[in-house]
Amino acid sequence: MRNLRPDLRGFKNLVSIYQICLIIFLGTILFFGVSVPATYTTPFDKGEKHSPAPFGLDDIWFYTPSMSKKVPDIDLNWLLIVFRSDMTKAKDIVDSNEHIADFFCDSNLGKDACFFKLQEGMNEIMLQGLIAKLNPYEFVSYAHPALHISDKTYTFFNAFELEWKTGVDPDIQNRLMIQAHVSPDKNKNTYTVNIFETPFFKAINLLAEDIHVLKANPFLVEIKASVSAELRLAINGANIGDKVPFSLNVVFSDLIRIESSSVANIRLKPSDIQKTLFDVQFDSCDYVETASKSPIQISGHITFYAPGEFMIPPVRIKYMCSDCPEKEVKTVETKAVPFKVASIVPSKAENKLMVPTDVLDPDYKIGYYHKKANTNLVLSGLCFFIASASLLWFLGKIYAIKKARKKLQVKKKADILAEKLSLFLNKTPLSPHWIYMAKISKLLRKYLIEKYEIAHYAGGGTGVIFFESVRGDLPEAHKAGLHRLLKTIDESAAIELKSCSEIDDFRSELLRYLEDSKLQ
């Protein structure tokens, strides 16, 4: 037995070394596992084709910011496809699928994405089959259906808005993101779902229902070209010297900012005609103001002084997309318009000699006409003075009416807010009370701003911070009471108080303040 002891010690040492190695190995796995959201990768990132996680059209629903369940209707007219590489394959998709009629691509709405118009007669079963057919394509990253919400058509990518509750531990955030296959984006409160591992709406709904999450809402994109331009001619042919009306229409969304210089310098002259044989006249307008809002409408007329077949060149409009990843200046252009000019010269001359028909009597008296001219001059001056005085009086009256109306509107808005707040206070408070009091705080702040016409105030933060920012604008008699009310709201929200024993006293005090403030 004594000879066996050294062997047993060696065996124990070997086991200890094995245990240490196992602990180090498991610690490494846990460390890198927790770090996944910071360096989240997918097979798509590595250049490998990977089909998205399957989902049914009935699985598409989400929570609104007020945490009510929203089940949108599936739109059967449009389909989104995001490409892995070659977007030129979009035309091949239209040609090879009988259920797809047309498409357009707009990098302002989605990078590497195209929107496909579906043929009439599509139903949800056919749409589900079409998505399943398109997803395995080598050049397709994923295909998503469109949604019909409030008479508009939207679609979704893989991004959503996520806001954590205050004080949530980063380790808890990482654990939840791993479970939902979610990673943070470079933009604040923006996250992306690895849709190759889990369906998009399943991931965000899982987070929205967690107690550590304040809200999780999908980013929806309206399917509508962000900018388009069209040049129209009244007719596509004329004779030499004819004036042909034209109109340029540019329609753009709120994302787009049009450069006024490109609107002010429009070139319509064909390249194969001399400058002296072509004329363009624009109707007067303020180009800076015109370019600031959609739609832009510019009109005028063109005139050709040479026969032949010409091509009105495309009009190029420069623009920028304020919220798009690419911030560089882009260009949208109209289609070239063909135009034919006949060699027939108009039979009637445009410039005619004007001959007076009222012949002057040779025996006229010059003094009489001078006196008559002076009388007309005095009458004209008097009429001008009366018209100017009337105009000034009219403008002053309009200014006074607008000023009085503005004061009345401000007063009415404050009264409406006071009535709304009173109705809310008279309702039975629902649990939890801290949410009920937070809504009261929001209405109370709006009422104070409108009631006392406060221009500068803290837009966010606690009620006490808001009170300190507007203290100077509040009546001295109500300062202490308002400070106490807002502080009570802050304390209930800070500890997320489900039931407040002093809720009735709080409501009564606030109602008394509203009655007193109406008398001021």
Read off the pLDDT of residues 17-51 as tens digits, 9 standing for 90 and up: 556 655 555 554 444 433 333 333 333 444 577 88
Q: Mean pLDDT of all residues in the chain?
A: 81
Give the per-residue pLDDT at 409.
56
The amino acid present at 133, given as its one-letter code, is K
pLDDT band at 323 (very low <50, low <70, confident <90, very high): low
User: Is 381 contained in some domain?
Assistant: no
Give the per-residue pLDDT at 450.
87
User: Is 182 contained in some domain?
Assistant: yes
Do 143 and 265 reside in the same domain of the chain? no
Do 117 and 231 reside in the same domain of the chain? no
**Beta strands per DSSP E along 119-212:** 140-149, 152-164, 182-184, 190-193
The more confidently predicted of residues 320 and 280 is 280
Give the per-residue pLDDT at 29.
44
Write a three-state SS string for 98-144. CCEEEEEECCCCCCCEEEEEECCCCCHHHHHHHHHHHCCCCCEEEEE
As a dihedral over the C-alpha atoms of residue 507, residue 509, residue 515, residue 520, rounded to 10 degrees, the angle is: -140
User: Is 511 contained in some domain?
Assistant: yes
Do 244 and 197 reside in the same domain of the chain? no
| Residue 182 and residue 192 in contact, taking contact as beta carbons nearer than 8 Å | yes
pLDDT band at 425 (very low <50, low <70, confident <90, very high): confident
Range of 53-62, 322-331, 435-444 with top mean pLDDT = 53-62
As a dihedral over the C-alpha atoms of residue 409, residue 413, residue 416, residue 417, rounded to 10 degrees, the angle is: -170
User: Is 174 contained in some domain?
Assistant: yes
* Segments forming the whole domain that contains residue 106: 57-222
**What percent of the chain is modeled with pLDDT above 70?**
83
* CA proximity to 433, closest of 484, 482, 506, 487: 506
The more confidently predicted of residues 330 and 365 is 330
Do 252 and 216 reside in the same domain of the chain? no
pTM beyond 0.95: no
Burial of 196 (0-12, 13-18, 19+ CB in 10 A): middle
- Of 318, 342, 366, which residue is a domain's last? 342
Give the per-residue pLDDT at 199.
95
Burial of 388 (0-12, 13-18, 19+ CB in 10 A): exposed
- Of 166, 201, 222, which residue is a domain's last? 222
What mean pLDDT do residues 411-432 have?
82
Give the per-residue pLDDT at 366.
66
Q: How far apart are CA 26 and CA 447, in angstroms?
A: 58
What mean pLDDT do residues 99-126 have?
87
pLDDT at 236 over 80: yes
User: Is 31 contained in some domain?
Assistant: no
Q: How far apart are CA 341 and CA 345, in angstroms?
A: 11
Least confident of 99-103, 352-356, 515-519: 352-356
Question: Residue 436: CA atoms inside 13 Å, Cβ hemisphere, count?
Answer: 18
pLDDT band at 396 (very low <50, low <70, confident <90, very high): confident
Do 213 and 285 reside in the same domain of the chain? no
pLDDT at 179 over 90: yes
Do 187 and 234 reside in the same domain of the chain? no
Do 212 and 63 reside in the same domain of the chain? yes
Q: How far apart are CA 399 and CA 389, in angstroms?
A: 15
pLDDT band at 170 (very low <50, low <70, confident <90, very high): very high
Range of 84-93, 207-216, 287-296 with top mean pLDDT = 207-216
Give the per-residue pLDDT at 338.
93
User: Is 326 contained in some domain?
Assistant: yes
pLDDT band at 220 (very low <50, low <70, confident <90, very high): very high
Do 76 and 183 reside in the same domain of the chain? yes
Give the per-residue pLDDT at 31.
42
How do residues 329-340 score in pLDDT, each as one tens digit? 788 888 999 999
CATH code for the domain in which residue 292 is found: 2.60.40
Do 106 and 178 reside in the same domain of the chain? yes
| Residue 65 and residue 217 in contact, taking contact as beta carbons nearer than 8 Å | yes
pLDDT at 319 over 90: no
What mean pLDDT do residues 296-303 have?
90
pLDDT at 273 over 70: yes
Give the per-residue pLDDT at 204.
94
Do 416 and 469 reside in the same domain of the chain? yes
Give the per-residue pLDDT at 266.
87
How do residues 448-496 score in pLDDT, each as one tens digit? 888 888 888 877 778 888 888 888 888 888 888 888 888 888 888 777 7
Range of 75-79, 254-258, 328-332, 354-358 with top mean pLDDT = 75-79
The contacts of residue 66 (CB under 8 Å, 6+ apart) are none
| Residue 153 and residue 79 in contact, taking contact as beta carbons nearer than 8 Å | no
Do 213 and 267 reside in the same domain of the chain? no
pLDDT at 397 over 70: yes
User: Is 104 contained in some domain?
Assistant: yes
User: Is 100 contained in some domain?
Assistant: yes
Do 173 and 295 reside in the same domain of the chain? no
- Of 194, 222, 250, which residue is a domain's last? 222
Give the per-residue pLDDT at 470.
87
Domain count, the chain: 3
